[in-house]
Amino acid sequence: MGLFFNLCLLFFILISISSTNACDRCLHQSKASFFSKASSLSSGACGYGSLATSFYGSHLAAAVPSIYKSGSGCGACFQVRCKDAKLCSKAGTQVIVTDLNKNNETDFVLSGRAFNAMANKGMGQSLLKLGVADVEYKRVPCDYKGKNLTLRVEESTKKPNYLALKFLYQGGQTEIVGVDIAQVGSSSWTYMTRNYGAVWDTNRAPEGALQLRLVVTSGFDGKNIWAKSALPVDWTVGGVYDSGVQIDDIAQEGCGECDDQIWK
Ligand SMILES: *[C@@H]1O[C@H](CO)[C@@H](O)[C@H](O)[C@H]1NC(C)=O
Ligand SMILES: *[C@@H]1O[C@H](CO)[C@@H](O)[C@H](O)[C@H]1NC(C)=O
């Protein structure tokens, strides 16, 4: 009797843990401030450089370490809305993480354009005057409207052995947690490591045309994504290459407060 009861209890505890944890969009409460220049958010800890200002209509964000996640949070997209009903719209705006925010008083420092985009019509100036706003936010999938995951060969690359690649236009709602590289047609894979932000590198770069194998978080698990011809045989330093694949997976999170609705 006692054992049966305990088993039932355990069963219900497990069910309730997995149902509270399986969330596509955890809701977070914090504050956000802003930089007046989007370029303040472009050089930083993710390594996107001036390219960042072309992302998401310059709706950029510097995020605290718990979101930046040692660089794996670079390129993640969030829906952010401020909570003053008079000044702020219910939909808020979408931003992309392009930098690390070392100030722990707000989870995000937004570009002025993103901060302003949270306002109701005609309320932009009043919101900007506040400087800091109470916000709520959740992670959302990044959508680059038809663009594939793209690779940029970094200037630090030194042929033939040292290769540094930056990932751009990373879709979905995941993190890249592993990268392997091999010559096209070869099964001799070499791992790359995250150098910083969105930049991965290796000292043992294969020659020729290159293929990539990515491990991304998906659901509660991992998933392999294979870019069969990521870099052409004549790739060059500074070159930007379409990987031919895109990520559209959603990695679920565990959290207390889940909000799967789309804010409108
Ligand atoms: C922020 O960090 C400072 C210094 O480490 C600490 O004293 C302060 O309590 C932190 N504030 C918050 C809101 O966590
Ligand atoms: C993305 O990759 C696919 C498959 O290689 C390709 O057919 C498509 O043209 C690429 N899309 C863009 C926008 O380059």
Q: Give the number of whichever ligand sits closest to the CA of residue 66.
A: 1
Give CA–CA dist 177/215, Å, rounded: 6
- CATH code assigned at 216: 2.60.40.760
Instruction: Give the pLDDT of residue 3.
Output: 46
Binning pLDDT at 50, 70 and 90, where does residue 15 land? very low
Pocket test for ligand 1, best of 31, 104, 132 (most atoms within 8 A of CB): 104
Q: Are residues 42 and 101 in the same domain?
A: yes
Tokens of 49: 């450089």
Of the three residues 139, 172, 187, the one that is the final residue of a domain is 139
- pLDDT averaged over the chain? 90
Evaluate if residue 169 carries a pLDDT over 60: yes
Contact assessment for residue 79 and residue 92, using Cβ atoms and an 8 Å cutoff = yes
Q: Of all atoms in ligand 2, which is nearest to the CA of residue 245?
A: 2
Q: Are residues 171 and 226 in the same domain?
A: yes
Of the three residues 79, 106, 139, the one that is the final residue of a domain is 139
How many other CB atoms are there within 10 angstroms of residue 12's CB atom? 10
Q: Give the number of whichever ligand sits closest to the CA of residue 107.
A: 1
Evaluate if residue 12 carries a pLDDT over 50: no
How many other CB atoms are there within 10 angstroms of residue 45's CB atom? 23
Q: Of all atoms in ligand 2, which is nearest to the CA of residue 147?
A: 13
**Does residue 68 belong to any structural domain of this protein?**
yes
Q: Of all atoms in ligand 2, which is nearest to the CA of residue 148?
A: 1
Give CA–CA dist 220/241, Å, rounded: 30
| 61: nearest Cα among 27, 16, 106 | 106
| Residue span of the structural domain in which 158 resides | 149-245
pLDDT digits (tens, 9 = 90+) for 121-163: 999 999 999 999 999 999 999 999 889 999 999 999 999 999 9
Instruction: Give the pLDDT of residue 41.
Output: 64
Q: Is 145 in the pocket of ligand 2 (CB under 6 A)?
A: no
Instruction: Give the pLDDT of residue 133.
Output: 97
Q: Are residues 135 and 39 in the same domain?
A: yes
Q: Are residues 47 and 97 in the same domain?
A: yes
Binning pLDDT at 50, 70 and 90, where does residue 199 land? very high
Taking residues 115-121, what's their average pLDDT? 96
Binning pLDDT at 50, 70 and 90, where does residue 173 land? very high
Residues 6 or more apart whose CB falls under 8 angstroms from that of 255 comprise 20, 21, 23, 26, 27
Residue 98, classed as helix, strand or coil, is strand
Pocket test for ligand 2, best of 212, 242, 247 (most atoms within 8 A of CB): 242
Structural domains counted in the chain: 2
Q: Are residues 214 and 175 in the same domain?
A: yes
Q: Are residues 106 and 169 in the same domain?
A: no
Amino acid at 40: S
Strands 190-196, 176-183: pairing is antiparallel
**Does residue 260 belong to any structural domain of this protein?**
no
Q: Are residues 133 and 32 in the same domain?
A: yes
Q: Of all atoms in ligand 1, which is nearest to the CA of residue 105?
A: 13
Which comes out higher in pLDDT, residue 221 or 179?
179
- CATH code assigned at 120: 2.40.40.10
In sequence order, the β-bridge partners of residue 192 are 179
Instruction: Give the pLDDT of residue 43.
Output: 61
Evaluate if residue 170 carries a pLDDT over 80: yes
**Does residue 261 belong to any structural domain of this protein?**
no
User: What's the DSSP call for residue 37?
Assistant: -
Q: Are residues 128 and 205 in the same domain?
A: no
Q: Are residues 239 and 154 in the same domain?
A: yes
**Does residue 87 belong to any structural domain of this protein?**
yes
Contact assessment for residue 171 and residue 249, using Cβ atoms and an 8 Å cutoff = no
How many residues would you count in the chain? 264
pLDDT digits (tens, 9 = 90+) for 24-71: 999 999 999 998 766 666 668 999 988 888 888 899 999 999 999 999
Q: Is 229 in the pocket of ligand 2 (CB under 6 A)?
A: no
Instruction: Give the pLDDT of residue 146.
Output: 86
**Does residue 65 belong to any structural domain of this protein?**
yes
Helical H segments across the chain, by residue range:
2-21, 65-68, 112-116, 124-130
Q: Are residues 131 and 45 in the same domain?
A: yes
**Does residue 172 belong to any structural domain of this protein?**
yes
Q: Is 104 in the pocket of ligand 1 (CB under 6 A)?
A: yes
Taking residues 82-104, what's their average pLDDT? 95
How many other CB atoms are there within 10 angstroms of residue 27's CB atom? 16
Q: Are residues 241 and 155 in the same domain?
A: yes
Please name the residue whose Cα sits nearest to atom 2 of ligand 2.
Answer: 244
Please name the residue whose Cα sits nearest to atom 3 of ligand 1.
Answer: 104
**Does residue 2 belong to any structural domain of this protein?**
no
Instruction: Give the pLDDT of residue 13.
Output: 43
Q: Burial, 133: exposed, middle or buried (Cβ in 10 Å; 0-12, 13-18, 19+)?
A: buried
Q: Are residues 163 and 230 in the same domain?
A: yes
**Does residue 18 belong to any structural domain of this protein?**
no
Taking residues 200-212, what's their average pLDDT? 97
How far, in Å, from the CA of 147 to the mean position of ligand 2? 7
